[in-house]
Structure 1
Amino acid sequence: MSYDPPRPAGRLLLTPEDREAPARTRRLRRLGLGERPEAVLDAFADRLAERTVAPYAMVNFLDDKGQFFAGLHTPGRDVLTVDADGTRREVGRHLARDHGFCPHVVVRRKALVLEDVCDYPRFAGNPVVDEFGIRSYLGAPLIDGTGMVLGTVCVVDVEPRPWGRDGLETIKASAAELVGWLERRGSEGFLL
């Protein structure tokens, strides 16, 4: 696996190089995914949050420019943290490519379980840790029938979480369920 060069700030995290991003971007556009929120994907994220008892859940599509949460579940308020000066850090639909852990899942092509991101120097320096207070992550890739990784399904928490084997099985099953649904919709000629 190759990586982009380290950032000038000297972060320990290296965002993986995503050689499939241009092809993925074209595929997502053909499928009509990754450019607008989808009510059905928001509902999927709601169910995923409920299954995992996580405050945040996402259906994330990654293109050559960044990440887009086409499905998003947040608690009653859309705030992860409030800074000492009162600045609210809100969860949005867009995230830079070097933020979060989904780019790693996409390049690795397999699930990633981080019960406490601070236990992993490579991940503890990620901007979402300091900017949003993310402390745990559980995500799996959305690999379609062509072998293309379209994005991820993931859940995060602001507290360390013992996701365990049950969490891993849940996120992988959820990814498979969503890929099946996306493919059925695509084969029927409907765009989401």
Structure 2
Amino acid sequence: MIIPGLPINEDFRIEALHSLDILDTEPENEFDEITTLAAYLCDTEIALISLVDSDREWFKSAHNFSTKEIHRDHSFCAHSILQPETPLIITDARKDSRFKDNPYTLDGTIIFYAGVPLIDKNGFALGTLCVIDSKPKELTNKQLEALKSLAHQVVILFELNKKNKDLEKIENKLRKRNESLKDFARVISHDLKMPLANVITTSDLLKLKLANDLDQETSEYFEYIKQSSFTMSDYINDVLDHYESDSLAQHKPELFKLNHLLKEIAELLSIKPDCTINFPESNPTLECNKSALKQIFFNLIGNSIKYNDKDHILIDIKHCEDKMFYYFKVVDNGMGIPNDKINTIFDLFTTANGTDRSGNKGNGIGLSTVKKLVESLGGRIKVQSTLGVQTIFDFSIKKKIES
């Protein structure tokens, strides 16, 4: 028996092999199907996808071969990768000086061997796709070409696996960074709420204490401080809502009446006489994530009120459903959305209008939170608008499917 030598680029070859992160991984159907097909096409007992490591040959897929790895000194494939341009074909290993004393030849496991090197995009031979039989054999040209084609598919699968793993690593890094950003935003937002409340209270107390000594301009400054503080407070609340929407979406479904939920929201928004909200006449019973739906309607109805330039605000809320989804529609007679803003209206920190009904500028967080919640509940949301006339938000929520 002749122990296989090392390729001249062995260090780089081993580095390329390890970079795949495929050694010692679990079996995968995609690879097992290739070895099964290779054995069938070549009419052999065994087919292997082998990877030649520093001191072993490890099998990613083994058709009719129970061993997961063998020592490199006993490896036929370690000989094959020495000449990666040419398949290694041994019709009778008992007559070949390299293999006649090999343990797998002596026990009759490998008499016939045909291995096609697996060449990566950089030219490194990582291992082979090989077929094996316990009796002498030859391959036809068609069988050999088929084996080469299958070997090429193995390399493609290796590269796809590597890309998928790289993407998973990137996703994990992004997920961790996103969680860090969420924690940062949550902490900062909570820490800012108390100082802002103090600013509002202090400005009110000062204004009251100095009431007899304030001129018109100074009073306006106090009012500006207070209004700016309220604007910042709204911004902080929206940031918290956005980053806490993930946990909100995890709430369990519950039974409730839609109109009861909408009345709760109307009370929270302190609806004034100049606003009419028309609820669905049927007052349907829903079974879904009530907390998430409440946040969605709170934002949409709140926007319909804020971004409305009419003397009387009119909001219609409609509902229908089928076996799979609840469908909702929120229609208002507000300012409308410019055509060039429609496609970006749900992007974070994007606003459609310069200022709202009170002359304040929006922060572009609310609708992004709405879209995030709707999609987390298995639905979709879209918007239609006629500038100066109306805006229509259509969204769906997937029903709880009984098992």
TM-score scaled by length of structure 1: 0.76
CA distance in 1, matches of 2:134, 2:96: 16
Of 93, 97, 101, 2:68 maps to 93
Aligned to 1:88: none
Of 8, 13, 31, 1:24 maps to 13
Aligned to 1:44: 34
Greater Rg over alpha carbons, structure? 2
1:143 matched to 2:132? The reply is no
1:59 matched to 2:49? The reply is yes
1:169 matched to 2:145? The reply is yes
**Do 2:4 and 2:73's aligned partners in 1 also have CA atoms closer than 8 Å?**
yes
Runs of 5+ unmatched residues, structure 2: 169-403
Range with greater deviation from structure 2 (14-23 or 37-46): 14-23
TM-score scaled by length of structure 2: 0.38
Range with greater deviation from structure 2 (110-119 or 162-171): 162-171
Structure 1 pair 171–190 and aligned structure 2 pair: CA distance change class (3 A): farther
CA distance in 1, matches of 2:51, 2:23: 5
Q: How far did 1:71 drift?
A: 0.8
SS at match of 1:150: strand
Range with greater deviation from structure 2 (145-154 or 125-134): 125-134
Structure 1 pair 64–116 and aligned structure 2 pair: CA distance change class (3 A): same
CA distance in 2, matches of 1:175, 1:162: 18
CA distance in 2, matches of 1:190, 1:42: 24
Q: How far did 1:41 drift?
A: 1.8
The structure where helix makes up a greater share of residues is 2
1:103 matched to 2:66? The reply is no
Higher RCO (CA < 8 A, seq sep 6+) = 1
RMSD of aligned residue pairs (Cα, Å): 2.1
